[in-house]
Chain A
Amino acid sequence: MKLTLKIWRQKNQTDTGSLQEYKLDQLNPHMSFLEMLDTLNEQLIIKGDDPVAFDHDCREGICGQCGVMINGMAHGPLPHTTTCQLHMRSFNDGDTIYIEPFRSEIFPIRKDLSIDRSAFDRIIASGGYISTNTGQAPDALAIPIAHEVVEAAFDSAACIGCGACVATCKNGSAALFTSAKISHLVLLPQGKEERAARIKNMVQTMDKEGFGHCTNTEACQVECPQNISVLNIARMNYEFIRAKALEK
């Protein structure tokens, strides 16, 4: 198949950047989207041009490193699919595809399509854990956890931290990401002890980093590769109010 690509090129964080046009042909529809970019880069390198920088690593949808806007959609046209799991059979011969970095002021561009999502790490560092040191754990069966509870915790814990929720949100909110971690931990008996401190610290960090507020458009869940539920956000709000109420 043949494609016209309009790709965001930006040398570094301070460069202004612009869309550049590239043409590719003889593409195999079974290629992944990133393999299509590999093919473009092979050609650019041989021509002596700078290859397009993009984030990726595991290429099986779990590391959370890949992610670009494809025709304005985070991770492209398929629901609940990372960029690396998207294949060219989802496009038509002759298409023009716009490829841009994830959109958020909080995710500065390193180069081209590659972005800095360290704000997510800082949210986790501020409380996204159970405070246990190595060696302190009681036997794993000491506290039974009902099947449904652990499955629900898993659903929240499945977040891969890719940032598509932020990129797709008109407010640039990290509510889905943050609430997924809060729900994962507070659902489990081990995580209940420090629930009040956790929610306050994580929400505070989220605000300090400059992420926008959630206005319940629910666009985030649609783009989320793991289909993390917006109900996590409701739980986060509940936890926040609970913590604030108990403060008094």
Chain B
Amino acid sequence: MMKLNANIPDGPLEQKWENYKKKAKLVNPANRKKLDIIVVGTGLAGSSIAASLGEMGYNIKSFCFQDSARRAHSVAAQGGVNAAKNYKNDGDSVYRMFVDTLKGGDFRAREANVYRMAECSLNLIDQAVAQGVPFGREYGGYLNNRSFGGVQVSRTFYSRGQTGQQLLLGAYQALMRQVEKKSVKLFTRHEMLDLVVIDGKARGIIARNLDTGQLERHAAHAVILATGGYGKIYYLSTLAMGCNGSAIWRAHKKGAFMASPSWIQVHPTSLPQSGDYQSKLTLMSESLRNDGRIWVPKNKDDNREANQIPDGERDYYLERRYPAFGNLAPRDISSRAAKERIDAGYGIGPLKNAVYLDFSKAIKEQGKEKIKEKYGNLFDMYLKITGYNAYEVPMMISPSAHFSMGGLWVDYGLMTTIPGLFALGEANFADHGANRLGANSLLQASVDGYFIAPYTIANYLADEIHTGKIDSEQEAFKIAENEVNTKLNQLTDIDGNKTVDYFHKTLGKILYDYCGLSRNREGLEKAINDIRALRADFYKNVKIPKDMATVNIELEKAGRVADYLEIGELMCYDALTRNESCGAHFREEYQTADGEALRNDAEYQFISAWQWNGSPDSPILHKEELHFEFIKPIVRSYK
């Protein structure tokens, strides 16, 4: 069995990244021009790495399926980005941030990676400010911070409720600057459909032009996947409609291991589902929990309007169960607590599937204007979507699939098990363990792209300077292109009687029911069978318009759903083989008497890394044991 080597540098925790950088191989500026790099995805991770490498002088090709690089889903992150600047003098430090993140992830992440992310957070804020990101500031002109879940300091930098948009625009503008300088060639409306591997190394991709349907071959010395997460597998999620797992899944089928795919974060504060027609669940930023209080009625079937229910008859269940963190308990815990109340019959709203997020106390104490300044755009959005004014009545919120902590397995250098294939941002599994803390997602995507991968990719490419141009006429490219073409034709030839969305919605329901906020053996086994049956039905009965030469949105979706139907099964295996509860992975069989997660460090202190073995039902499990040298795993308590 292949031994996974995370290639963690030697030395004390705080010197590992320094040591890596000291010893990393370099590519001199004259040689950089000889090296081609493909970057798939233009979110924060993709734009920042493409821009950074372009600035250094490499030849970059950047791909996205959207009509502009600025639209990638990083744009939708609302609340903020963490950094251990300690500008608030409230006891923050790189070490404290490292501990919070590791604990937040339930001790299922690598110490060295987490520490490096906290360390690089300092530079990120500097970088973003230099690019013109308008972070919130105090009247004296100094940067302001807010708090996010799972921490007791204020380390979150924000641009009102549009922090992701502003950070992404910074990265997008840096990218477009390189496009203008011709160091980056940008391919919008292109979707990667396969990875080309030659002699064991990633050498290029097959991409489809979504406007003309043409398949294209692109060759390079290294391929970077910054394609985001696959949480849209649940259909109803906070993600964009186009978010997908296809790039990483196709790389997985070419040999890249998938790590802990079942670790999917369910966000506690999204808008509840209101009907079958619904296409997405809109996120309401976690930052709202700084001032909003979450509650349900103490009495079942209390049908009074929220404002008619007196304080004494409300159950502020997070404050009750987790007094130390209250409404700012981490996401997995908050979501599970909401599900517990909803399942017990205390849910509110027309479908009894929501809980209240109440601002009346904050408005009374701080005034409506202050609340408006902090969260105005979120309240406006809530009004547009629901028709309710949250300054007057509490918001109704509900948990929704949000972020995949799982993803392609990468070593410390962010390289997958395929040499020359790197995975950045949400596409990899690296830093969040079994649960991501709020405002760490923008951070991870950015530091991977701006500060980490530029070093680690150079370290890899230093050995490629004599390789010469990669020829896309090679047999491997032809074979890959043919395979893609065959698969596309196979899909359009089915000509059945059910739409792609039908399959996506059905799969989403199976996963919400059996591989969502809580899981058990029986349910997971049932889900595996259900997914297999659904997959068979898909290949027999899906209906897709045949036109391959113009925009064919159903064909695009079908390819993604075909992959989801395989990823979903792997998620269930992953959840089934982990006989413990940790972070977002809550196995009902493994809980304490008061319903908290019961981790099993003796047997499960590892990252599951799955190898494709030719079919979706026979994945091979590898384990990367986690070693905690600097901090002893403790029971994660927010009480």
Contacts and interface: CB of A to CB of B under 8 A. Distances in A.
Contact of A141 (B67, B142, B274, B282): B142
Contacts of B381: 60-61, 85
A115 to B, nearest CB: 8
B439 to A, nearest CB: 16
B550 A111 contact: yes
A46 B499 contact: yes
A64 B69 contact: no
A58 B186 CA distance: 21
Q: A53, A59, A62, A126 — which one has the most chain B CB atoms within 10 A of its CB?
A: A62
Interface string A42-76: 10011010110101111111111100000000000
A191 B550 CA distance: 42
B140 A144 contact: yes
B269 interface: no
Nearest to A78: B384
A51 B130 contact: no
Contacts of B132: 129-130, 153, 157, 184-185, 188, 190-191
B242 A57 contact: yes
Contacts of A111: 550-551
A144 B125 CA distance: 14
Contacts of A146: 137, 139, 141
B75 interface: yes
A140 B177 contact: no
Given A45-B499, A128-B176, A161-B68, A61 B387 contact: no
A124 B499 contact: no
Contacts of B260: none
Contacts of B87: 141
A224 B625 CA distance: 52
A147 B138 contact: yes
A38 B241 CA distance: 12
Nearest to A156: B134
A48 B172 CA distance: 39
A63 B173 CA distance: 15
A145 B76 contact: no
A59 B450 CA distance: 28
A15 B140 CA distance: 58
Interface in B290-309: none
A46 B174 CA distance: 44
B545 interface: yes
A118 interface: yes
Interface in B222-266: 240-242
Contacts of B566: none
Interface stretch (B157-165, B465-473, B582-590): B157-165
Contact of B126 (A39, A110, A138): A138
A120 B240 contact: no
A147 B137 contact: yes
B518 interface: no
A158 B160 CA distance: 10
Contacts of A158: 162, 165
A99 interface: no
A4 B143 CA distance: 52
A140 B173 contact: no
A137 B139 contact: no
B492 interface: no
Contacts of B240: 57-59, 63
B179 interface: yes
A65 B130 contact: no
A78 to B, nearest CB: 8
A81 B501 CA distance: 26
A70 to B, nearest CB: 15
B275 A28 contact: yes
A157 B169 contact: yes
A16 interface: no
Contacts of A64: 68, 70-71, 75
Nearest to B83: A140
B93 interface: no
Contacts of B127: 132, 134-135, 137
A46 B497 contact: yes
B277 interface: yes
A60 B280 CA distance: 9
Contact of B130 (A11, A32, A78, A136): A136
Given A31-B277, A46-B499, A63 B545 contact: no
Contacts of B142: 141, 144
Interface string B129-163: 11110111111111100000000000000011010
Contact of A60 (B130, B131, B135, B282): B282
A6 interface: no
Given A12-B550, A146-B137, A158-B162, A65 B176 contact: no
Contacts of A145: 137, 141
A150 B136 contact: yes
A124 B140 contact: no
Contacts of A51: 545, 553-554
A30 interface: yes
B68 A120 contact: yes
Interface stretch (B47-55, B104-112, B339-347): B47-55
B126 A140 contact: yes
A140 B274 contact: no
B85 interface: yes
Given A45-B545, A146-B137, A137 B129 contact: yes
Contacts of B130: 130, 132, 136-138, 190
A126 B603 CA distance: 56
A46 B177 contact: no
B211 interface: yes
A89 B387 contact: yes
Interface string A97-124: 0000000000000110010111011001
A46 B136 CA distance: 50
Contacts of B283: 60
Nearest to A227: B380
A146 B136 CA distance: 10
A138 B136 CA distance: 18
Contacts of A53: 551, 553
A125 interface: yes
A11 B67 CA distance: 18
A89 to B, nearest CB: 7
B275 A31 contact: yes
A31 B66 CA distance: 24
Contacts of A144: 137, 140-142
B7 interface: no
Contact of A184 (B73, B129, B134, B143): B134
Q: B126, B274, B454 — which one has the most chain A CB atoms within 10 A of its CB?
A: B126
B279 interface: yes
B199 interface: no
Interface of B: 48, 51-52, 55, 66-71, 73, 75-76, 85, 87, 123, 125-132, 134-143, 159-160, 162, 164-166, 169, 172-174, 176-177, 179-180, 186, 188, 211, 240-242, 274-275, 277-280, 282-283, 381, 384-385, 387, 450-451, 454, 497, 499, 501, 543-545, 547, 550-551, 553-554
8 nearest A-B residue pairs (beta carbon): A144-B141, A129-B173, A137-B130, A137-B126, A125-B176, A154-B134, A111-B551, A134-B52
23 contacts: A28-B275, A32-B385, A45-B499, A53-B551, A56-B241, A58-B75, A63-B240, A65-B67, A65-B71, A78-B384, A125-B179, A126-B180, A130-B132, A132-B131, A134-B48, A135-B123, A140-B126, A140-B128, A144-B142, A146-B139, A150-B134, A154-B162, A161-B71
Given A45-B544, A63-B73, 11 more contacts: A35-B279, A57-B66, A60-B283, A61-B381, A63-B76, A78-B384, A128-B173, A129-B132, A130-B131, A188-B134, A190-B131
